[in-house]
Amino acid sequence: VHTIQNHGKCPDNQDSFITASSGSKSLVAVLDGHGEQGGRVSQFVKVQLAKSLFSNKDLHSDPAAALESAFFETQRLIERSHTFDALHSGTTAVAVYRHRDRLYIANV
């Protein structure tokens, strides 16, 4: 895995990425934080999205639904978080989950 960052006019880089694997399963994602707390939101999603996906009981039987559920669960946890105010901040995300020879792609 290789990354390149090109800083624009904003002094803070609010982006992050995910590379996580477990056996024949892997998740990669690019997160682009926005707003005052965008960096904190993208870091939160970096940790939580993989955790939510790999712990989903339906991951093997319905990977697409498990990926969707991981996004919803992560959003719910952001909304309930008291460690930062994400009302006017957030992150975009493009995620690819691979299981053996299949890819499942989601974006927000």
Model pTM? 0.84
Q: Please check whether residue 84 is in contact with residue 33, taking contact to mean a CB–CB distance below 8 angstroms.
A: no
Tokens of 86: 């994400």
User: Closest Cα to residue 60, out of 10, 23, 30?
Assistant: 23
Tens digits of per-residue pLDDT, 16-56?
Answer: 999 999 888 999 999 999 999 999 999 999 999 999 999 99
Taking the C-alpha atoms of residue 56 and residue 97, their distance in angstroms, rounded to an integer, is 13
* Average pLDDT taken over every residue of the chain: 89
Cα–Cα distances (Å) from 49 to 8, 10, 81, in that order, read 26, 26, 15
